[in-house]
Amino acid sequence: MPHLAAPPDAEATAGAGRLAARLAGVSRVYAGTGRQPPVHALGPLDLELSQGEFFAVVGPSGCGKSTLLDVLAGLSPPTSGTVEFEGRPVTDRVPEGVGVVFQDDASFHWLTVRDNAAFGLRRQGVSEREIAERVDHAITFMGLKAFAAAYPAQLSGGMRQRLCIARTLVLRPRLLLLDEPFGALDQQTRLLMGDEVLRLWRDTGATVLLITHALDEATMLADRVGVMSARPGHFIDVVTTGWPRERDSTIVARPEFGEVTARLWLHLRAESMKAMSMTA
Amino acid sequence: MNATTLDASPATAWRAPLETAALIAVLVLLWHLLHLVVGGDALPSPLAASRRLLRLLASPDFAANAGETMRAFGYALLISWIGGLGLGMLLGAHRLTGDVFEPVLVTLYAIPKITLYPVILLLFGLGISAKVAFGALHGIIPVVLFTMTAVRNIRPVYLRSALALRLTPAATARYVILPATLPEIFSGFRVGFALTLLGTLIGEMFASQRGIGYMIVHAMQNNEPQTIVALALLLVAFATLASSLLLAVDRRLRHAA
Amino acid sequence: MSRKGRPKGECRSAQHAGSPVTRAGWIRLGVVALCVAALEVACRLRWIDPVSVIPPSRMALGAWSLLASGEYSQDILLTLENVAMAFGIALVLGFAGGVLLHRMPRLRRAADPLLASYYAVPTFIFYPLFIVLFGLNRWPLVAIGVLFAMVAMALNTLNGFERVPAALHKTARVMGLSPVQETFLVTLPACAPYIFTGVKLAVVYAFIAVIAGEFVLSGAGFGFKIAFAYNNFDNPTMYGLMLLLLLAVGFVNWALTAWERRLHERSAGGCP
């Protein structure tokens, strides 16, 4: 699938040594207003993503998972520490080569599926012919070819998320950030979407960071899983799953699956209780 | 207004206008019954009113009067819609400014603006500018309020997507904010249309020797109930037709919302 | 419009807790004060024709002396009575109309274009017709007020009913409530905030219609007195009355809006 592949000089094997992104000593503090104290939402935390790896982040509610993604994407500046993407610093703009899929449905309800997918490319002034090719490939890849002329309102939740992924895919991101993209979907759809994401990951050779609250999803999809503490979040453990690159949701049958998931929960249980008492 | 979005198939598309026509027929019937009860001096019959209306339409100076009203209304509508849109976008985009001015606008909306009329007359004098000012004053406020609310309530994920897709602020405004808020802005346009017409007519009733508003006042002073009702009928017909058109556009804008 | 600066879960209403006057409120006060001051200066320095507009200070003095003299209390009372009656009748008819439209969706669909154009027609043109019907008393005025206010009440009542989640209706049936019980114990409390919006608009529109009617057509009442002052070139009285009207309507609107907001917050959990 040449149209979806990353640029030729990217190495498609996980842990190949080159860093896709790096967070060093990053923390994010939301300033207080006159009436509210400042909120220390994240960090200080460190993270290194190798080119082409699949990294999942799990943690209790409110630990700053989404803030982590915002900082990494350049949507939100860190209060301290440095953020780098492909060796270059990330400041207050989203760098070229980074794609984000949000938890909420971000499909533009006034555009058809095809126009939605083409949106990012059109704003970049790419030729209509190339747009048509790339959009067609992305839509077919995400299984939406039959609905190209439909509007998001006519699609199910899962299909809309696939559309959002297609919209990002078309831009050929080298780093793909997914913020609980399947949070609003039912379990079976989630599992199938997980397979889709794995397929996408292998075909594009991109680096993927997935935020999820579902431990089994993290275990199933990722090469490494980072466990965050309660707020202010930092990594208390990073578990390597050791799965082969060619994997899908049937990996749940392996005994190691249960072990990894159990290990994640053992870390997470105490932090989750801490987080719950904070918000009580 | 949601019950109708499901009836999109062509087979049922003609049903709504037909039902409206049926409702209008029932209302005309009730009108006639009421006429029979209270007498022709209080309420002329539908037939009498229609006859008078046709005669009015054929009369030589009607065109001039109608033209006068339409001219003033046209200017006022332009100000209401475009001025209101711009102002509303500004107030919606900048949270603090919106917070500061919204209660002011809401209060202005609640004042019987007719009592501000002396001020308008003193400032603009008698003539078309007073009419336009009065019409615009009535119509601009709902447009601003609706636009402001629409921009403020835009789904945050759209704005984050615009950032993630690396759009410039101008591109964001044009390709994301505007289409996302268009249906609600258009609702404001519809309300603005009705109120601008009202304001223009009221303005004509006092500041003018020409125009449909003036014709109404003249009929009121000379005790010509048939003319009053005939003109009211004309206005209702015009406003309803225009509203239906705007409503149809509105529905098309919401096809996917 | 962006919530970039706040972490998840913190709503704006939390920022209002504490001081009763928000930062926006202070700025608004400042802006209004500035405008009034500017107008005062402009009038005193004769940049604005003194025949047309008098300085705000004289407006305020005029308003005060009007109140103090008691000359206008009769008219104020009259107007308030008219408004109250128009409002009361509009409330009942509007509510009934809203319920009717809710229960009959076909009627509602058919009436859509008509309702949309309702407020384009100046309803007080029917005043002479009402005089013939009711006589030369307050009822034509009240009737116009009712016509003006009742549609807003009906539309908002309808809106409220439509926003009641189906789950509440099912719960009522599971609990074995009769239709009447369900209406009073479940439906009405659930759509109270939206119905209250209708009530607020009914008050406001009744005010507008009655005063506008008095201004144009009547021989007594607050609106009439404004027109009288205008026709007699009595600017201080006219502006004094207009200022009183502005303050009164502003106050009523503010009070009702504050109440409305509290109703909305209570039912929606505080986050819009």
A33 touching C, CB under 8 A? yes
User: Mean per-residue pLDDT for B16-28?
Assistant: 86
Would A3 be classed as within a structural domain? no
Query: ∠ CA B45-B49-B54 to the nearest 5 degrees?
Result: 150
A67 touching C, CB under 8 A? yes
**DSSP classification of residue B81:** I
Would B151 be classed as within a structural domain? yes
DSSP per-residue letters across A77-108:
--SEEEEEETTEE--SSPPTTEEEE-SS----
User: Mean per-residue pLDDT for B33-59?
Assistant: 87
Contact A167, A120 (CB under 8 A): yes
CA-to-CA distance for A134 and A3, rounded, in angstroms?
Answer: 6
Q: Which two tokens stand for residue A127?
A: 């030729």
Mean confidence (pLDDT) of chain C: 81
The model's confidence at residue B20, banded by pLDDT at 50, 70 and 90, is: confident
CATH topology assigned to domain C72-268: MetI-like fold (1.10.3720)
Max distance between CA atoms of chain A, in angstroms, equals 56
Statement: residue C94 has pLDDT above 90: yes
Question: What local confidence, expressed as pLDDT, does residue B255 receive?
Answer: 63
From chain B, pick out residues whose CB is under 8 angstroms from the CB of A75: 160, 163-164
A122 with A26, same domain?
no
Domain extent, residue B163, equals 45-253
Q: Which two tokens stand for residue C29?
A: 């006060």
From chain A, pick out residues whose CB is under 8 angstroms from the CB of B256: 109-110, 151-154
**DSSP classification of residue A127:** -
Would A126 be classed as within a structural domain? yes
Would A37 be classed as within a structural domain? yes
Would B31 be classed as within a structural domain? no
Chains contacting chain C through 3 or more C-beta pairs under 8 A:
A, B
Would A57 be classed as within a structural domain? yes
A20 with A150, same domain?
no
User: Mean per-residue pLDDT for C201-218?
Assistant: 85
Q: What's A249's domain CATH number?
A: 3.40.50.300
Q: Which residue of A has its CA nearest to B174?
A: A123
Number of separate domains in chain A: 2
CA-to-CA distance for A135 and A145, rounded, in angstroms?
Answer: 10
Question: What local confidence, expressed as pLDDT, does residue A13 receive?
Answer: 41
A131 with A166, same domain?
yes
Question: What local confidence, expressed as pLDDT, does residue B12 receive?
Answer: 61
Give the total residue count for chain A. 280
Would A4 be classed as within a structural domain? no
Q: Which of B232, B239, B242 is nearest to B56 (CA)?
A: B232
Would B10 be classed as within a structural domain? no
Number of separate domains in chain B: 1
CB contact under 8 A, A35 and C18: yes
Domain extent, residue A149, equals 106-172
Contact A42, A68 (CB under 8 A): yes
Statement: residue C8 has pLDDT above 60: no
Question: What local confidence, expressed as pLDDT, does residue B160 receive?
Answer: 93
Would B129 be classed as within a structural domain? yes
A178 with A245, same domain?
yes
CB contact under 8 A, C120 and B197: yes
A168 with A221, same domain?
no
Q: What's B63's domain CATH number?
A: 1.10.3720.10
Strand-pair partners of A98:
A175
Q: What is the per-residue pLDDT across B197-255, written as a single tens digit (0 to 9) for each?
A: 989 988 888 777 888 888 888 888 888 888 888 988 888 888 888 888 888 888 787 76
The model's confidence at residue C11, banded by pLDDT at 50, 70 and 90, is: very low
- Boundary-marking domain end, from A146, A172, A198: A172
Secondary structure (3-state) at B179: helix
* Percent of the residues in chain C that have a pLDDT greater than 90, as a whole number: 14
Q: Which residue of A has its CA nearest to B182?
A: A110
Higher-confidence residue of C239 and B136: namely B136
User: Mean per-residue pLDDT for B80-94?
Assistant: 91
DSSP per-residue letters across C160-221:
HHHTS-HHHHHHHHHTT--HHHHIIIIIHHHHHHHHHHHHHHHHHHHHHHHHHHHHHH-SSS
Would B131 be classed as within a structural domain? yes
- Boundary-marking domain end, from A147, A172, A197: A172
Would B5 be classed as within a structural domain? no
* Percent of the residues in chain C that have a pLDDT greater than 70, as a whole number: 90
Q: What is the pLDDT along chain A (280 residues), one digit of tens a residue?
A: 334 444 444 444 444 458 889 999 999 988 876 677 888 888 799 999 999 999 999 998 878 888 999 999 998 889 999 999 999 999 888 998 999 999 888 999 889 999 999 998 988 888 999 999 999 999 998 899 999 999 998 999 889 999 999 999 999 999 999 999 888 788 888 888 899 899 999 999 999 999 998 999 999 999 999 999 988 889 999 999 989 999 988 888 888 899 999 999 998 898 888 888 876 5
Q: What is the per-residue pLDDT across C232-268, written as a single tens digit (0 to 9) for each?
A: 888 888 888 888 888 888 888 888 888 888 888 777 6
A93 with A22, same domain?
yes
Contact A233, A29 (CB under 8 A): no
Secondary structure (3-state) at A208: strand
Return the residue in A27, A29, A33, A102 with the most chain C beta carbons within 10 A, the one to mutate for interface testing.
A33
Question: What local confidence, expressed as pLDDT, does residue A215 receive?
Answer: 92
User: Mean per-residue pLDDT for B73-91?
Assistant: 94
Statement: residue B40 has pLDDT above 60: yes
Would B27 be classed as within a structural domain? no
